[in-house]
Structures are given as structure tokens and as C-alpha cells.
Amino acid sequence: MSPIEEVILNKKTNVNPIWIMRQAGRYLPEFRRIRKANPDFIKLCLNEKLSTEITLQPLIRFDLDAAIIFSDILILPYGLNQKVEFKKGVGPLLGELNLENILKLNESDFVEKVHSVYKLINSVKNSKIIKNKSIIGFVGAPWTLMVYMINRESPKLGLKKNFFENEDLIHKTLKIIEKFLKVHIKCQIENGAQIIQIFDSWAGLLAEKNLKDYIYEPTLKLVEYVKSFNVPVICFPRNIKNYKDYCNIVNPSVICIDYNIDPKEISKDIRIPVQGGMDPKILLTDKENLKKETKKYLDIFNDHPYIFNLGHGVLPETNPQMMDYLVKMVKDY
Ligand code: CP3
């Protein structure tokens, strides 16, 4: 059993497992080299050999306790034939959402289009370096995926005023997302994913009155689905205002917290295992400060089952030496 699973299943508090969101990515020169030669990001995700290599890159450098598969949450709309592009400096841009065509798709059409993701998981599973480490598969939460599929670009500046106007569109899109996310989760698990993380990056955009319909209910269905395979599920409802309510209603195996929430409040209010929290910008400062902030999280969660991670993805400007320092520190603490 990997240290991460020990914490999740046995609620152990005497180990400090660590992995980092976006650990495989742009802060690593070895990733940038591959990325430069592969301008089409989705194609790169679906290149089984290269995506396996990228998944394992951070594990070669650092003593992390998990591999998160190199893929993207937007593989889902891609698999449903909605065009997905990544523009430098802009982020993801999606093509027209054609529900009529999507409704004609069946599960095997989707699986055929994204099957390389499952092959990647299988090949990660067969690599030697993965011994005693967890393989984390992931999906976007229904709400966050719906935002991208309808908004067709990042809602960095907030949702468009008329976002909720077309209820029929929202309802149908959520139904489709749920159906195919289940397929995507099942195939990841069948091919070797031992934990599933659900990324709800835009959870913080919603008003209280909309949480039930767009976050709690759709996410709960997926959490129950993952658990039906006896696989733990980590939820990351970034910037949600009330983590306590979220945990009580959605009941994930682990709650991943962002860096805007006070960790002391979480350790007081929440009984399930916790992951994450530290601001990724701390890695851009100096070792002294990194040590102080890391200690803060480890001390607060000293008597709580805790998986060290950041409160969002590691930033591209991060010096890999700082990551090295962080991982060693957490392991030796
Ligand atoms: O964690 C890992 O190392 C695994 C890989 C991973 C990627 N995306 C690779 C990626 C994971 C877990 C994701 C999740 C993801 N993708 C989320 C949820 C987490 C979060 O950051 O909030 C979201 C919202 C996306 C959608 C997405 N993909 C955006 C908004 C962008 C562009 C901006 C950015 O963050 O880079 C991407 C591109 C992307 N996904 C890159 C990588 C390595 C960068 C691609 C590049 O090199 O240009």
C-alpha cells in the first residue's frame, strides 16, 4: 500500500505523503523540451509513449508518492467531438457545442477517441518506478466542464451575464457530462488508476443558491460512482465558500483545499482526510519562507490524516530546486 492510500484508508497521521497538482508540466525543462516539439497539446496528451514519459518525469526527479496521469480535464469535450485548442497566453478555446451530434454518440465512440489515456495508465502501471506509489487518474467536475463547454473559454473574468439563461442547454449538457464522465472514470480505474481526483476549478464562481443543482448533486453522483469500485476519490472544489457543507453533502474520501481557506478552520471543522492548501506562489520565494509555510501546514494537520500538496497547480515559473527542497522537507519532517 502506498503512503497516500495508508492515509486515506487507515487514517494514519504519522506519515507525510506528498504529491503536487500539475507536478508533470511546464516548470520542468525536460517537459518543455517535449512540449516544444509537440505544438498540439491534445495530441501530446494522446501520445501514449510521450505522455507516459511526462507522467514519470517528476517521479524521476523527486520522491513523490503518486503519479498523476498526464492528460487534461478537457479531454472529455474533445472525446465528444467539441473542438479543444490551447492558445499561448490565452488558455483553452473550445469550438461550438453541438448537442444534437453529441446525443448521437455512444460510449464506444468516446472510448475509441480517447483510448490512449487508458493505454497511458496501463504503461505507467507497468513501469518500475511506480512501486509503492499511487496512480492518480482524474476528471473535471461536471460544473467546471460545463463552464468550459458552454463558455468555450476560461471564465477568468467571471461568467457571462446570461450564462444561466438557457436552462435546457444546461440541463442537457450536465446529463451528457455525467454519462461520459462515468465512462471515463470506469476506463481509468479498469486500466490501473488507484485514486480518482475530481477537479472543480470553478466551484468558487457559484452563488450559494446554485450549489445544490450544479455542484453538490452532480458531484455526489460521481463520488458514489467512484466509491462503487472501492476506489478512493479526492474532491477539489477550488474556492468554495463552505468546505464543511461540501464535505457533509458530497462526502469524498479526501478533501483537497485551496490556498484562500484558513487551514486551521479546516482542521477544526472537517473530519475526513485533507490534502493540499499551501499557496503555489510560496515556491517562488526563498527556502526559509518555504520551510516556514510548509511547517505551518504540517503542524496544523499534525493530528489529522493529511496528504501534502499545494492549494492549486505548481506554477510554470517554479524553480525545480525549490520543489526538490519541499519534497525532502515534507518527507523528513
Ligand atoms: O497535474 C498534472 O501534472 C497532470 C496534468 C494536468 C494538466 N491539466 C496538464 C496541463 C491536470 C491534472 C490538468 C487539470 C486541468 N486542466 C484543470 C484543473 C486544475 C486547475 O488547474 O484548475 C483545468 C481547469 C484544466 C484546463 C486547462 N488545461 C487550462 C485552463 C490550461 C491552460 C492554462 C494552464 O494551466 O496551463 C490547460 C493546459 C494544460 N494542462 C497544460 C498542462 C501541462 C499546459 C499546456 C502547455 O504546455 O501549454
* pLDDT band at 158; cut points 50, 70, 90: confident
Q: Measured in angstroms, how far is the CA atom of residue 166 from the centroid of ligand 1? A: 28
Ligand 1 proximity of 127 Cβ (cutoff 6 Å)? no
Average pLDDT over residues 57-75: 98
In this prediction, residue 55 carries a pLDDT of 98
Element (H, E) at 235: strand 233-237
In this prediction, residue 160 carries a pLDDT of 83
pLDDT beyond 90 at 327: yes
How far apart CA 206 and CA 204 sit, in angstroms, is 6
Q: Measured in angstroms, how far is the CA atom of residue 22 from the centroid of ligand 1? A: 7
* pLDDT band at 88; cut points 50, 70, 90: confident
| Four-residue CA torsion sign, 252, 253, 256, 261 | positive
Ligand 1 proximity of 313 Cβ (cutoff 6 Å)? yes
Residues contacting 271, CB < 8 A, separation 6+? none
End-to-end CA distance of the chain: 21
Q: Which of 26, 71, 73 to mutate to test the pocket of ligand 1 (most atoms within 8 A of CB)?
A: 73
Residues contacting 201, CB < 8 A, separation 6+? 73, 140, 144, 236, 238
pLDDT beyond 90 at 217: yes
How far apart CA 300 and CA 332 sit, in angstroms, is 17
Q: Can you tell me whether residue 183 is helix, strand or coil?
A: helix
How far apart CA 20 and CA 315 sit, in angstroms, is 11
pLDDT beyond 90 at 106: yes
What pTM was estimated for this model as a whole? 0.97
Take atom 9 of ligand 1 and give the residue whose Cα is closest.
72
Element (H, E) at 44: helix 41-45
In this prediction, residue 157 carries a pLDDT of 79
pLDDT beyond 90 at 208: yes
Q: Percentage of the chain with pLDDT > 90?
A: 94
Ligand 1 proximity of 252 Cβ (cutoff 6 Å)? no
In this prediction, residue 170 carries a pLDDT of 94
In this prediction, residue 159 carries a pLDDT of 86
In this prediction, residue 89 carries a pLDDT of 86
Q: Among 132, 137, 138, which Cα is nearest to 59's?
A: 132
Tally Cβ neighbours within 10 Å of residue 299. Answer: 12
Q: Measured in angstroms, how far is the CA atom of residue 269 from the centroid of ligand 1? A: 30
Average pLDDT over residues 43-52: 98
Closest approach atom of ligand 1 to CA 45: 9
Average pLDDT over residues 173-194: 98
Q: Among 191, 192, 252, 257, which Cα is nearest to 225's?
A: 252
- If you average pLDDT over every residue of the chain, what do you get? 96
